[in-house]
Amino acid sequence: MPIALSNARILRGAKLLDGHSVLIDQGRIEDIVPTAVARGRGVEHLDLGGGLLLPGLIDTQVNGGGGVLFNDAPTVESIRRIGQAHRRFGTTGFLPTLISTDLDVVAQAIGAVRAAVASGVPGVLGIHIEGPFLSFERKGVHDPAKLRELDESAVGLLTSLGTGRTMVTLAPEMTTPQIIRRLTEAGVIVSAGHTNATYAQVTTALQHGLRGFTHLFNAMSQLTPREPGVVGAALEDRTSWCGIIVDGEHVAAPVLKIALRCKPHERFMLVTDAMPALGTDLRSFELQGRHITVSGSVCYDEKGRLAGSNIDLASCVRNAIDRLGLPLPEAVRMASLYPAEFLGLADELGRIEPGYRANMVLTDERLNVRASWIDGEREGA
User: 193 near 230, Cβ under 8 Å?
Assistant: no
Q: In the annotation, is 364 catalytic? A: no
Q: Which of 97, 171, 172 is nearest to 140 (CA)?
A: 171
Q: Which of 199, 274, 209, 283 is nearest to 239 (CA)?
A: 209
Q: How far apart are CA 256 and CA 171, in angstroms?
A: 22
Q: How far apart are CA 156 and CA 152, in angstroms?
A: 8
Q: How far apart are CA 249 and CA 269, in angstroms?
A: 17
Q: How far apart are CA 379 and CA 340, in angstroms?
A: 22
Other beta carbons within 10 angstroms of residue 319's beta carbon come to 22
Q: How far apart are CA 137 and CA 221, in angstroms?
A: 9
Q: Which of 317, 190, 342 is nearest to 247 (CA)?
A: 317
Q: Nearest 10 degrees: CA dihedral of 255, 259, 262, 264?
A: -150
DSSP 8-state code for residue 310: -
Catalytic residue, candidates 273, 312, 322, 347: 273
Q: Nearest 10 degrees: CA dihedral of 172, 176, 179, 185?
A: 60
Which residues are known catalytic residues? 273
